[in-house]
Amino acid sequence: MKPKWLFFLAILTLFFLGVREVTPVQKDGIPPAPVATETERIDFPLVPGSYWVYEGITQWMPTNSDQVNQTAITWKMEVVDTFERGPLKVGILKGYPADVAWYSEGKERGEHLIIEVSPGKYYLVSDERARLVLQRLTDEADVLVNLLEDVELLLDLPLIPGKVFGSSEQITRLDGGYRWNVETAEQVGLEAAGISSTESHIQYHLTFRTAPDMMSLDFVPGIGITRYQYQHHGAIAETDLKLIEYYPGN
């Protein structure tokens, strides 16, 4: 009688021979399918050289006067330069539609920063505040604690009708005041130089209401602010500007 171990050895040999016979040999390797990479979305195209031109009407009352002045006005917002500091993306702007909210003859465009803190979250700082914030941003020793204020939050993308954002102290107000409210979204065609009149865009309407005044923006992702409106409820100050020209920069 043969030893049992020879019997098991024969079975294992036949098993491995069978595996070799039924396992196909792949001579030419098939390269893995390429992984699709998502193109970065640029919802607010803050590119050096880009600009927006607005046109409309502004009304205002001079200091210590009951007279109401009105003028047709064209206002330009342009990106002078951009840079990054850590995760922050900073656009240095000359001009912004809100410059016209309290107009006076000969008023010049303001100095502004739009800072993207995280994807889709943009803060606007203006004039003297812009100069102070820019000084801190360019100071390599500054760790940038308390750089921005809640009230300076301009956009929190993506926008959805019913969404609210702004100061944490006001975000839960039941009357909807002192914060940004995304009111509506609609499909529109834009009549502005530099934008194809045959293209359709989603435009969002946002409002910011306080006791003394109201401000509203129309915003189109990929283009920017397409309309700006301001109305003061006391002394007359009203502005309505619409985008008439857009250049996306280099």
Coil, strand or helix: which one is 67?
coil
**Mean pLDDT computed over 16-34:** 49
pLDDT, position 9: 47
Return d(Cα 156, Cα 98) in angstroms, integer: 19
pLDDT, position 5: 46
* Percent share of the chain, pLDDT over 90: 76
Does the pTM exceed 0.85? no
Neighbours of 26 (CB within 10 A): 7
Q: How confident is the model at residue 70 (pLDDT cuts 50, 70, 90)?
A: very high
111-167 pLDDT, tens digit each: 999 999 999 999 999 999 999 999 999 999 999 999 999 999 999 999 999 999 999
Sequence-ordered strand ranges (E) for 4-158: 51-60, 69-85, 88-94, 111-118, 121-126, 153-156
Q: How confident is the model at residue 17 (pLDDT cuts 50, 70, 90)?
A: very low
**Mean pLDDT computed over 67-86:** 96
